[in-house]
Amino acid sequence: MRASLVVVPLALLGLACGGTKPLPPDAADVRTSATTDPGLFSDAIRGFRVRVPPGWRVSPRNLTPGLSDPREILAMGTGPMPPNVGGNLPTRTMTNLGSRDVILSVQERSTGSGHPDLDLPGGASDATSFPPRPDHFRLGDRPSWVQPEPGDGTRQARFWWRGFAEADRRFYVLVGVGANATPQRRRQIEAVADSLQFAAGQTWGSGPWVRVPPGWSVTMRDDAPTRRTVTLRDATVPPLAVVVHLNDPGRFAGPERSLDARVSVADLAGAPSTLPASFGRLGRGDITITPAATLPLGDLERRAATLNTVLESMRVTSR
């Protein structure tokens, strides 16, 4: 199946996203690749990998740091990519897109955010807003919108926007092409979109946000106005339960922060234990672990590694 990026009027894009606040760029969430291959960017925390052509770079920052759901997991291109201080789209980068530059941004919609589906007027279903990923991304001849380039109202940058689903996850992709971008650049950006690979699993919540692999489940509740509880369960036999308590979650509103905590093999092998946890200087909490039954060391090491990946994925964003 081949599909072009669908046309969505710009006026509707403000409905597509929730939980945005005017926030300054934040240095706490710096994106780095898990591989040393300069032609490949691999992000185990956000669960994707993508090819990086020569002359392209991946932004180390979230370009929409005040947006909690959907949240940007990838921004890459050939020109400057300054972050926003608010808004649903990377408008600073878009309005400053160079005549020969291109940009690609991917945002992920959470599974358990609690936000109504406002992706299209009338509350469109997932099947409409997030159809299965096409075999190939093609820009087509009808961009979702155009805008004048800086300093020259006669030339217009073109932008395409679409939603799609893959690996039990839901995404939006934004593509921008400068007015004088070469055909090679246009083919490159289609090839980059085609190269995206997503790890299976689900993404939950916006305060906090956490990615879980297949076989895991997540529940979130507020025990009190000053305490939020996140329960992570691994259904693998024997089961494993991890409870994260966030004290005073209202203080966490702000730029994205990661959880400072790691679990060791000993934590999974011994008696139930409680470990300290924090989100930088924004607030503190704790992690309670109910260990699995006695397992061989290799199994414990694998489960500890998986659990640490889940904990490392946990982010507190704007609420």
Whether pTM exceeds 0.85 = no
154 and 265 both lie in a single domain: no
Check residue 6 and give its pLDDT: 38
DSSP state of 269: H
pLDDT 10s digits, 279-290: 655 456 777 877
Q: Are 313 and 46 in contact (CB under 8 A)?
A: yes
The residue among 159, 182, 200 that closes a domain is: 200
Separation between Cα atoms, residue 256 and residue 220, nearest integer Å: 18
pLDDT 10s digits, 303-317: 888 888 888 787 765
Residue 215 structure tokens: 């076989």
115 burial level (CB within 10 Å; 0-12, 13-18, 19+): middle
205 assigned to some structural domain: no
149 and 264 both lie in a single domain: no
133 assigned to some structural domain: yes
Check residue 233 and give its pLDDT: 83
182 and 218 both lie in a single domain: no
Q: In tens digits, what is the pLDDT along the chain, a chain of 319 residues?
A: 434 443 333 333 333 444 433 333 343 456 666 667 778 999 887 889 999 999 999 998 889 887 777 889 999 999 999 998 777 889 999 988 999 999 999 999 887 543 333 333 334 445 567 899 999 999 988 888 887 755 555 678 999 999 999 988 899 999 999 999 999 999 999 999 999 999 888 777 656 778 888 888 888 777 776 677 888 888 777 777 888 877 655 554 445 566 777 788 887 777 777 777 766 554 567 778 776 556 777 788 888 888 888 887 877 654 3
185 and 69 both lie in a single domain: yes
SS3 of 260, please? Answer: coil
228 and 119 both lie in a single domain: no
The residue among 200, 235, 254 that closes a domain is: 200
268 assigned to some structural domain: yes
112 and 242 both lie in a single domain: no
Check residue 178 and give its pLDDT: 93
The residue among 151, 168, 200 that closes a domain is: 200
75 assigned to some structural domain: yes
Three state DSSP letters for 37-68: CCCEEEECCCCEEEECCCCCEECCCCCCCCEE
| Kind of pairing between the strands at 67-69 and 18-20 | antiparallel
pLDDT 10s digits, 169-190: 899 999 999 999 999 999 999 9
Check residue 20 and give its pLDDT: 38
Total count of domains within the chain:
2
Range of the domain at 301: 210-316
163 and 280 both lie in a single domain: no
Check residue 243 and give its pLDDT: 82
Q: Are 177 and 185 in contact (CB under 8 A)?
A: yes
